[in-house]
Amino acid sequence: MATNSIREDEDVSTVKKSVTIKRLLSYLFVHKKTIVAVMFIMAYCVGVSLVNPLIIESCVDDHIAVGDIKGMLKLMAFALVLNIVWVILVKVRMYIMSKMTNSIIETIRDEVFTHLQTLGFKYFDSRPTGKILSRVMGDVNSLKQVLQNFVITLLPDFITVLAVMVIMIIKNPRLALAGMVGLPLLIVGLFVIEALSRVRWQTFRKKASNLNAFLHEDIAGIRIVKTYTAEEESLETFDELTDEHKSWFIKAVRINDCFNSTIEISTAISIVCMLYVAIKVLHIGAGNVGLLIAFTSYLSLFWQPIANLGSFYNQIITNLAAAERVFDVIDTEPEIKDDEGVTDMPAITGNVSFRNVGFAYEDEVPVLKDVNFDITPGETIALVGPTGAGKTTIVNLISRFYDVQSGKVLIDGNDVKKVSIHSLRSQLGIMTQDNYLFTGTIKDNIRYGKLDATDEEIEAACKAVNAHDFIMRLEKGYDTELTERGGNLSAGQKQLLAFARTIISDPKILILDEATSSIDTKSELLVQKGIEVILKGRTSFVIAHRLSTIRNADRIFVIENGGIAEEGDHEALMNRKGLYYNLIMAQQC
């Protein structure tokens, strides 16, 4: 199992924190009306929280102290109404914010997934699937609390802190200053903790991504694991990755815990200083108990929002790495994309030309060098050669799954880079040896090749490749549900379905890349009859090692050393007794 690629830590985007946060919050500003409504609710709630201490002060100093019980009850009844409305509005606020943030998360995830659909094979070839899933699911989910708390925590609590400061200073400046003496300690503490916390959370998310990648690979390859009795090795790797994940989580949480400790220490220092000034300096006595109670309440109102703000800041630091990883996906430029001003590919007749084509997956390792050929409509071309010679690369360039580094690929005289990708690929039929089937019915899987195909067209395609008989022997026929990757079918049956899915769109150019590699000899004879009908009138490229699938080709290209080493039909190449002859002879031995 390729655990090395799983262990490699992906580079985190170098986007500055402020830019990332601003970009993340831009999703909130789309919902301006909702935010305004929530802010009105929050304004009322903040107002009630500021009025409550004044009500308590008045009850104690103005009513209880003078025995005015009736006046106290009226004031308490008024406070009760205010606070009941406050409780109701808090519930409404929670509902509104939950609905809005879920909508934003859905939007971000949709953007990520939509962008992933535009990326080329190179992006997916260089990243384990589990790491991509981690970004689409885990990293996006982690942004929800940040977005929600920005509205319900940051703005209201910031306003609360300022309002409480003003009220305390107005009521008694010296008590107010004493109650805020812990602020410098808090600011320094948060600065230090932030510097340490962000690095740890970035590393933790990398470790979580590595663990997801391993789990996905191990489960997907469980048959190989069991075949080679590698369960113990897999468990050792899993334990190692889990330990790393746990270790970095503990390191990150330990730093995070310092946020609350710093706030609590700062709060305690401030309360002690405030009480000392009140008793020893200002000599506040029994006649001002209400003032002392109110000031203590305001001090709590002052430090609680600061604690909330610290917690929110902590959340930002914790999830900033996740935001960067999400935006890293969205910002990845597709390697293969439509240029400005492209036109739609006209109806293809089937002429294919390579003009001095050069290509390399890695710049220093050329796969094709100065390749030239012309294919006339309706011709069947077989591509043969040793593994890695460039056979699949040629058909991938025709489909524009990759772009040439030099030269041109022309279809009916149109440069494939000058026409839209959709209009090109919609007229091609491509079948590879990796015949992926989706969870769903047989009918649904075949219809994937032509979304508006009728049941009659599906049945006709299956009959053409001789898949109809085995389908009808299944309990539910075409409505049979397939498990993941078609696990309840044989390899040959899956390949027959994939072949039917390919031809149902009636492609003008047909590409068969090892399309019969998993079909047994009996099934192959049935498929060959279908292939002979299907290839008629279509330009076709066939990559296969089996002689039976290539000997009837109009021309055979022997690919070696980055070019076409030999060209001709089967008889001509056999008579030449060159590379093709040696390949055939080696196969028959």
Residue 573 tokens, joined: 């190449």
Residue 217's nearest CA partner among 7, 9, 2 is 2
- Residue 375: pLDDT band (50, 70, 90) is very high
Each residue's pLDDT tens digit, 219-258 = 777 767 776 677 788 888 888 888 888 888 888 878 777 7
Contacts of 331 (CB under 8 A, 6+ apart): 13
Q: For the beta carbon of residue 475, count every other beta carbon within 10 angstroms.
A: 6
Query: How far is C-alpha 242 from the geometric centre of its chain's CA atoms?
Result: 22
Query: Where in the chain do CATH 3.40.50.300 domains reside?
Result: 349-427+507-589, 435-506
Contacts of 209 (CB under 8 A, 6+ apart): 10, 130, 131, 134, 135, 325
| pLDDT score at 160 | 77
Residue 298's nearest CA partner among 162, 190, 186 is 162
Q: CA 478, CA 446: separation in Å to the nearest integer?
A: 10
Residue 420 tokens, joined: 């839209």
**Model confidence at 475: pLDDT above 80:** yes
Q: CA 518, CA 170: separation in Å to the nearest integer?
A: 84
Q: CA 5, CA 8: separation in Å to the nearest integer?
A: 5
Contacts of 46 (CB under 8 A, 6+ apart): 156, 159, 160, 163
Phi, psi of 278 (to 5 degrees): -65, -40
**Residue 309 in contact with residue 183, Cβ under 8 Å?**
no
SS (H, E, C) 113-150: HHHHHHCCHHHHHCCCHHHHHHHHHHHHHCCHHHHHHH
**Model confidence at 357: pLDDT above 90:** yes
Query: Where in the chain do CATH 1.20.1560.10 domains reside?
Result: 31-331
Query: Partners of 557 in the beta sheet?
Result: 383, 567
Pick the CATH number of 349-427+507-589 from 3.40.50.300, 3.30.420.40, 3.40.50.2000, 1.20.120.1200: 3.40.50.300
Helices and strands in the chain: count of H runs, count of E runs: 23, 12
| Helix pair 289-331, 155-171: axis angle to 10 deg | 160
Each residue's pLDDT tens digit, 306-334 = 777 777 776 776 677 778 888 888 888 88
Query: How far is C-alpha 135 from the geometric centre of its chain's CA atoms?
Result: 4
- End-to-end CA separation in angstroms for the chain: 32
| pLDDT score at 547 | 64
Q: CA 223, CA 402: separation in Å to the nearest integer?
A: 32
The CA-based diameter of the chain, rounded to the nearest angstrom, is 121
| Strands 539-543, 380-384: pairing kind | parallel
Specify the CATH superfamily of domain 31-331.
ABC transporter type 1, transmembrane domain (1.20.1560.10)
DSSP state for residue 343 in the 8-state scheme: B
**Model confidence at 2: pLDDT above 60:** no
Phi, psi of 228 (to 5 degrees): -100, 15
In the numeric block, the tokens 């300690």 are attached to 185
**Model confidence at 68: pLDDT above 70:** yes
**Residue 144 in contact with residue 101, Cβ under 8 Å?**
yes
CATH 3.40.640.10 matches 435-506: no
Q: Where are the beta strands (DSSP E) in 342-435?
A: 352-362, 365-375, 380-384, 406-411, 414-415, 428-431
Residue 200 tokens, joined: 């740890």
Residue 560's nearest CA partner among 355, 385, 361 is 385
Q: CA 511, CA 508: separation in Å to the nearest integer?
A: 10
Residue 428's nearest CA partner among 401, 446, 402 is 401
In the numeric block, the tokens 């002859």 are attached to 581
**Model confidence at 11: pLDDT above 70:** no
- Residue 492: pLDDT band (50, 70, 90) is confident
In the numeric block, the tokens 């979580």 are attached to 208
User: What single letter denotes the amino acid at residue 15?
Assistant: V
Please report, for residues 109, 217, 454, the alpha-carbon distance to residue 134 in angstroms, rounded to integers and kept in the order given: 12, 13, 38
State what percent of residues in the chain have pLDDT above 70. 86
Q: CA 492, CA 589: separation in Å to the nearest integer?
A: 25
The percent helix, strand, coil of the chain (3-state, each to 5) is 65, 10, 25
Q: CA 125, CA 2: separation in Å to the nearest integer?
A: 13
| Strands 481-482, 414-415: pairing kind | unpaired
Contacts of 81 (CB under 8 A, 6+ apart): none
Q: What is the mean pLDDT of the chain?
A: 80
Q: CA 363, CA 482: separation in Å to the nearest integer?
A: 41
| pLDDT score at 12 | 40
Each residue's pLDDT tens digit, 127-162 = 777 778 778 887 888 787 777 777 766 777 777 778
In the numeric block, the tokens 């066939």 are attached to 542
| pLDDT score at 100 | 87
| pLDDT score at 420 | 92
